[in-house]
Structure 1
Amino acid sequence: MLVKNLDEIIGTEADVNGEAWESRRLLLADDGLGYSFSDTVMKEGAHLTMHYKNHVETVYCISGEAQVTNEETGQTYRIKPGMMYVVNENERHTFTAITEFRDICIFTPPLTGNETHDSDGSYPAT
């Protein structure tokens, strides 16, 4: 059994920050589960275009509101607590935090821990 506490992650190498987000990575590739699990906070007004070419991302909203646009189709979704979305076909997408937004993210393959978005909004292959 594996047990971790968010308080133990904050301030470590697994607490990764970008300009508009903070990703507290509770489970990583080294945990050997085949996926990673992060508690993420997006600042109000955060506007990011991402393109996870090498990963599938599942996002479950804990609090706040955001808008996610699938840049491949132009379809826009309003995300609120209790809702989830999956970027399952490597779609380029834009995320806009309407309020501070907290979510749980699951990535497959798993993140290794220190990834940040590159110039096209993706993470490198693991």
Structure 2
Amino acid sequence: MIVRTLKECIQSERRVVSENWESVRMLLKDDNMGFSFHITTIYQDTETHIHYKNHLESVYCVSGSGEIEVVGGETFPIEPGTLYILDQHDEHYLRAYPGQNMVMACVFNPPLNGQEVHDASGVYPLS
């Protein structure tokens, strides 16, 4: 059994910070579960280009609000209780509205190693 708290993970190398977001990677590839689990905070009033060519992701909004715009497609509002699933390696823009950060619970398959950040095309490398 693996037991971790968000508090202890925040105070470790499992917390990865970028200009637009921070991600606390609570479950990673070396845990051998076949997926990774993260609590990610999208900073208010930001836009992030993301294109997970190597990963599938499910994202549940815990708090805050914003939107996801699929490149060449629709824009969907995000608010607490919204789940979106990037099941087609969907290239998108993730925006957090002003006033409050968005806190998201995220699951990745295949799992991340832990220190990945988006490259210039919005991609996480395959680990």
The letter for the 2-side match of 1:40 is T
TM-score, with length taken from structure 2: 0.95
Match in the other structure for 2:23: 23
Task: Report the secondary structure of 2:41's partner residue.
Answer: strand
> For residues 42-53 of structure 1, what are the structure 2 equivalents within 5 Å?
42-53=42-53
Q: Tell me the distance in 2 between the aligned counterparts of 1:56 and 1:108.
A: 5
Match in the other structure for 1:57: 57
Superposed CA RMSD:
0.8
Match in the other structure for 2:32: 32
Match in the other structure for 1:77: 76
Identity %: 41
Q: Tell me the distance in 2 between the aligned counterparts of 1:92 and 1:57.
A: 12
What is the number of equivalent residue pairs in this alignment? 125
Task: Report the secondary structure of 2:8's partner residue.
Answer: helix
Q: How many angstroms does 1:100 deviate by? A: 1.0
Matched, 1:8 2:8: yes
Which runs of 5 or more residues in structure 2 are unaligned?
none
Task: Report the secondary structure of 1:22's partner residue.
Answer: strand
Match in the other structure for 1:96: 95
Q: Tell me the distance in 1 between the aligned counterparts of 2:21 and 2:119.
A: 14
The letter for the 2-side match of 1:27 is L
Matched, 1:108 2:109: yes
Q: Which runs of 4+ in 1 moved over 3 A?
A: none
Which runs of 5 or more residues in structure 1 are unaligned?
none
The letter for the 1-side match of 2:86 is V
